Amino acid sequence: MRSRHMLIASTSLAILPFSAAAQTTVAVLDHGDTAWMIVASMLVLMMTIPGAALFYGGMVRAKNLLSVMMQCFAITALVTVLWMLYGYSLAFSTEGMHAGVTNWHSFIGGLDRAMLAGLKPDTLYQTVPESVFVMFQLTFAIITPALIIGAYAERMKFSAMLWFSGLWLTFVYLPVAHMVWSGPGSLLGDLGVLDFAGGTVVHINAGIAGLVACLVIGKRRGWPQTHMPPHNLGYTVIGASLLWLGWFGFNAGSAVAANGSAGMAMLVTQIATAAAAIGWVAVEWAIHRRASVLGIASGAVAGLVAITPAAGTAGPAGALLIGFVAGTVCFFTATRLKHKLGYDDSLDVFGVHAIAGIIGALLTGPFAAPKLGGFGTVTSPLLQLWIQAKGVGFTIVWSAVLSWGILKLLDLTIGLRVDAEQEQMGLDIAEHEERAYNLT
C-alpha cells in the first residue's frame, strides 16, 4: 500500500530536539525509480489499448468488434481529460486529511490540485517526478471503467457508455481510490486494508459495477437461446497476453520504485497467473475432457486479478495458492453461476474480475504474514483477513449502490440501450457506421 510519507516527514520534525536542517528528509529524485515508473505507466496503458480491447473484442460477435475497441479507446481519452481536470485531485489530494481522523476528506480528496495545480517538472512524489505519478495513476483510472464494458457489451448506446464511464469514474472510482491509496487519514487505508495494486479499487469495484450494469441494462436479445460465440479467439489470446505483460507495470509499478518490492511483485504475479491458468484448465479438463483456449486465457486473467492486492506482501508460495484458488473458483463462477442465475454478463466481468478480486483481496490478509511466507507486517493472519473482509464489503456496497444509481439515472434520461434493430445490425454499423471486416 502506497502512502505519501515523504510529505508527512517534514511536518513532524519540529518536535524533535535536533537541528531540523540535519534531520530533514529531503525527497530526492531517483533516476532508476523514475525510469521504471515511466515504463510501468506505458505498460499499464497498453493493458487497455490494445490489451483489453483485443481480449474483449475477440469474445464478441464480428458485428460488434469495433464497438468494443471504440469503447476502450474513447474511455482512454475521456478519462485522461477528466483526470487532468479534477480526477487526480479528488483521488490523491491530501487536503484536510489527518492520520486516524475520519472526516469528509477520508472519503474524497479536495479540489486544491484540480487542473493539476502546483505540478511542475521538479515536483516530486516520493522519489519520482509527480508528473510520472499522475500519469501512472491515470492509467489505472482508465482501465477500471474499461473493464466494465465486458458486462454490457453488444447492447449499450455509445453516448450512454460515455456518460456512464465519466460519472462512474467520478462517483465510484475516484472516492474508492482515495479511500484506499491517499495515505494517512484515508478511510480504508487507516483501517489497515492492504491493497497493493488495486484488488479492491480496480477489480472488485469494476466487477461489481459490471454485475449491476448487466442487470440494469438487461440481457442481449436472444441470450441464451441464440448462439453468441466469440468471433476471434486469436484476438482474445493476444489481448490476454498483453494484459499479462502489462500487468507487470500494474503490480511491480505499484511499488513506485525500482526496488526489491517491485521485483518480488513481478515474480509473484508471474507465479499466481501461471497457477490460475493451470487451475482453470485442470478443472475444465476434468469436467469437459477438453482444455480450451478461452479457458487458459480466462484463467490467466483471474490469476492476474487475484494477485494484484497481494503483489507487495505475498511470498511465492502464497502467490501459488492465491492463483490456483482463483483459477479453479472462477472456472465455476464464469461457466456455471451465470447460466444458473440467468444474468447476461456478456464477457464475465463479474465472474472473473469481481470473484478473483474478492478471493485475492481476502487472501492478501493472511498471506501477508511472515509466518505464512509473506513480507508484510501482519502478525495475526485471521485479524488481517477480517480487516480485508471489511474493505471488500465496503467496496462491494459502495460500487453496487452508486453504479445502480448512475445507471438508473441514465436509463431514465438518455436511455442505456440501442433499439432492437440496431442490436440486430450490430453496434459497429448502427453506432459508428463502420464494419470491422470488409471481406469480399
Partner 1 sequence: MKWITAIIKPFTLDDVREALAEAGVQGMTVTEVKGFGRQHGHTELYRGAEYVVDFLPKLKIEVAVANDRLDHAIEAISNAARTGKIGDGKIFVSELEQVIRIRTQEVDADAL
* Contacts to partner 1 by CB under 8 A: 224, 227-230, 288, 290, 292, 294-295, 298, 334-336, 338-339, 348
Q: How far apart are CA 328 and CA 298, in angstroms?
A: 11
Cβ of residue 236: shortest distance to partner 1, in angstroms? 10
Q: Which residues contact 162 (CB under 8 A, 6 or more apart)?
A: 74, 78
Cβ closer to partner 1: 185 or 210? 210
Q: How far is the CB of 9 from partner 1 (least distance, A)?
A: 50
Q: Least distance (Å) from partner 1 to the CB of residue 141?
A: 28
Element (H, E) at 421: helix 420-425
Which cell is 294 given? 478461452
In degrees, rounded to 5, the angle at the alpha carbon of residue 75 between the alpha carbons of residues 69 and 79 is 160
Q: In terms of CB distance, is 295 or 374 closer to partner 1?
A: 295
From CA 154, how far away is CA 213, in angstroms rounded? Answer: 13
Name the residue nearer to partner 1 (CB basis): 11 or 226.
226
- Name the minimum Å distance from CB 332 to partner 1: 9
Q: Which one, of 84, 41, 89, 91, lies nearest residue 256 by Cα?
A: 41
Q: For residue 319, what are the contacts with CB-CB under 8 A and spacing of at least 6?
A: 267, 268, 269, 271, 272, 275, 307, 310, 367
In terms of CB distance, is 290 or 371 closer to partner 1? 290
Q: Nearer to partner 1 by C-beta: 17 or 229? A: 229
Nearer to partner 1, 121 or 229 (CB): 229
Nearest approach, Cβ of residue 338 and partner 1 (Å): 7
Please say which residue, 172 or 302, places its beta carbon nearer to partner 1. Answer: 302
At closest approach, how far in Å is the CB of 359 from partner 1?
A: 18
Closer Cβ to partner 1, 63 or 338, answer by number: 338
Q: Are 127 and 34 in contact (CB under 8 A)?
A: yes
Q: Minimum Å distance from CB 292 to partner 1?
A: 7
C-alpha cell at 328: 479453479
Count CA atoms within 13 Å of residue 131 on its CB side: 8
CB-side neighbour CA atoms (13 Å) of 19: 2
Residue with cell 508460495: 317
* Phi-psi map region of 100: left, alpha, beta (phi>0 left; psi -120 to 50 alpha): left
Nearest partner of 162 among 52, 78, 66, 51, judged by Cα: 78
Instruction: Assign 161 to helix, strand or coil.
Output: helix
* Alpha carbons 208 and 219: distance in angstroms, whole number: 17
Q: Smallest distance from the beta carbon of 266 to partner 1, in angstroms?
A: 29
Give the nearest distance from C-beta 92 to partner 1 in angstroms.
Answer: 37
Q: Decide: residue 405, CB within 10 A, 0-12 exposed, 13-18 middle, 19+ buried.
A: middle
Q: How far is the CB of 319 from partner 1 (least distance, A)?
A: 25
Q: Which is nearer to partner 1, 223 or 404 (CB)?
A: 223
Distances (CA, A) of 259 to 222, 263, 328, 384: 52, 6, 32, 25
Nearest residue (CB) to partner 1, 12 versus 227: 227
Gap between the Cα atoms of 190 and 387, Å rounded: 11
